[in-house]
Structures are given as C-alpha cells and as structure tokens.
Copies of this chain bind each other. A is one copy, B any other.
Amino acid sequence: MPNRQKNYTIGIDIGGTKMLAVLFDGEKALADYTLATPKDNLEHFLIMMDALLEPLTDRARADKVKIKGIGLGVAGVIDYNKKIVLKSPNIPIIDGIDFASKLEGKIGLPVAIDNDANCFCRTEALAGAGIKYKNIYGIIIGTGIGGAWWINNGIYLGAHGGAGEPGQMIIDFNDMIGLEAAYHKLTQHNPAQLAEEAYRGDVLAEKVYAELGNLLGTAFANIANLIDPEIFIIGGGAVESSDLFLSNIKKTMKENIISSEAKKIKVVKSKLGEQAGAIGAALLVK
C-alpha cells in the first residue's frame, strides 16, 4: 500500500453484475457501497454511477477530507490513451463510450480508468495474496472471466494494450469456443445458484463444478506454459464456492504444464475479497 495520504480517493469496480465503490484513505476502504450494474441504457448507467458516488462523497464531506480523484475498474478492454471502453462483453451499453471523460466533466474530479482484472491483480499484488511475489497472474471468475498479469512492478499491458485477457482463449477448436463461453455454457450463466445446488448435495451440480475445475485448470496450464508465473490468484464471485473446484484446477493444471519445475506454480484465493477490484481502481488515482 502507498503511504498515508491527506486526501481520499474513490475506486469503483464495474463488473458485469454489480458495481462496488470504496472510499479509500490510502491504506484501507473507509466505506463501500454496492449497486446492481444497469444494463438497459447509458443514461441509466450514468445516473446509477452518481447514486453510487453520493454516499461516499457525503462521508468525505463529513470527515472534512477532499476527494482527490476517482478510479474506475471496468470489465472490458480499455483504450488507455483515449480513456475509452473499447469492448465490454458483459456490459455492452458502455462499448465505445468515453464515460471517464463524461464523469470528469460532471463531477469536476480527475477520473482514471483501467480494466477490472488489472485493478484486482494490482491490489492483490501490492497488499493481498501476492504480496510476497513478483510474477502474479490474477484471474476473476464472476459474471465473466477476466485476468491480468503483474510483472516488473506493474500490470503488463502488451504492445497494443490487449494483453492479459483469458476470456477469449479458444479451448475448443472444433466449435471455436472460448474460455468464457465454455464457462457460461457450463454454469448456465448462474454459477451462484449452481453452487447452492452443489452444496445441497445435487450430484449434477457437483459434477458441473468438478468440470469447471478441469476447464479452469486447463486454462491455467495454457497460461502457465506461456508466462510461467509464481502464483495464480483467483477472485470474483466464484471464490466463495472455490472448495467445489479448486482441487480440480490444481490437478488439471499440473497435468498439463510441460515444465516439471513450473508445476510448482501456486494457486490461491484472493485475500482482499470483493473490495480488491475497487481498491485497485482507487490506487489508479495519483
């Protein structure tokens, strides 16, 4: 974590299902507030952003501390120069929208923007499960699947800002099905309900989660054979039910890593839980 600062920052994690905002004092979240992500139209989306910010700006006012800026972590591909969301598969209403600038104009505060998985991975690397490591792949398993790679003290963005994305990874060449699509197909877009069923002893739901472990383990091996990190950190909604599939991830990953040394790669759960993404977004504000 950075040193204590005199100002607060706000971080908003904009996921495919919910938006979570934190008021951040440079060390910890003082308050957080969650709303469902509007998906009908952009106007509604922007109104809900306002609603999300209000209780946090109120709190800052009560503390008599200025808010220095806002960081957004968005589930999608970002154009970092133009601060535009290029493509958000699970929130298509914001595709191509420069809503960081829109928000800046409206609120009069600097707004930074980044991919949500980048934000998640940054927090876990600096203050979470990755604090002892230098080469970390963070993966969010929630509404969709996002990922980011922390190396050389930062998120690796690639030559065109397109790096770190696991969702499109084709794992079924015959039908050209990517990892995220296979995840949706397996969990029927409702992993939480499926987990409930599995915990209640539904054998079919248990099998689906076992298969999900194999699917993710395969993807982890594909990632490991290319970038060979020290550790994978798993975040997102699925973390809560990770005991249903974590052992299968590890098993399938090991079986498909070619280097015997790289089979030692660790797989752990997020330490900072559901605030990790929003804190990582708050850390964007310099």
Residue pair B160, A261 in contact (C-beta under 8 Å)? yes
Residue pair A172, B172 in contact (C-beta under 8 Å)? yes
User: Chain B nearest CB: distance from A267 CB in Å?
Assistant: 14
Whether A13 is near chain B, meaning CB under 8 Å from some CB there, is no
Residues of B within 8 A of A265 (CB): 159-160
Q: How far is the CA of A195 from the CA of B166 in the complex (A)?
A: 33
Interface flags for A122-160 (1: CB within 8 Å of B; 0: not) read: 000000000000010000000000000100100011111
User: Chain B nearest CB: distance from A130 CB in Å?
Assistant: 12
Residues of B within 8 A of A225 (CB): 162-163, 165-166, 168-169
Residue pair B226, A256 in contact (C-beta under 8 Å)? no
Q: How far is the CA of A265 from the CA of B163 in the complex (A)?
A: 12
Residue pair B218, A165 in contact (C-beta under 8 Å)? no
Residue pair B168, A171 in contact (C-beta under 8 Å)? no
Residue pair B222, A163 in contact (C-beta under 8 Å)? no
Residue pair B226, A160 in contact (C-beta under 8 Å)? no
Whether A285 is near chain B, meaning CB under 8 Å from some CB there, is no
User: Chain B nearest CB: distance from A265 CB in Å?
Assistant: 7
Residue pair A161, B259 in contact (C-beta under 8 Å)? yes
Q: Say whether chain A's binding surface is mostly helix, strand, loop, or mixed.
A: loop
Residue pair A258, B167 in contact (C-beta under 8 Å)? yes
- Chain B residue, CB-CB nearest to A259: B162
Q: How far is the CA of A256 from the CA of B24 in the complex (A)?
A: 38
Among A135, A165, A265, which residue has the most Cβ atoms of chain B within 10 A? A165
Partner of A162, one of B160, B167, B218, B261: B261
Residue pair A258, B171 in contact (C-beta under 8 Å)? no
Interface flags for A103-119 (1: CB within 8 Å of B; 0: not) read: 00000000000000000
Residue pair B159, A230 in contact (C-beta under 8 Å)? yes
Partner of A158, one of B77, B167, B262: B262
Residues of B within 8 A of A256 (CB): 168, 170, 176, 178
Known A87-B260, A160-B259, A160-B262: A226·B223 in contact at CB below 8 Å = yes
List chain A positions with a Cβ less than 8 A from chain B: 77, 79, 86-87, 135, 149, 152, 156-174, 176, 178, 182, 215, 218, 221-230, 256-262, 264-265
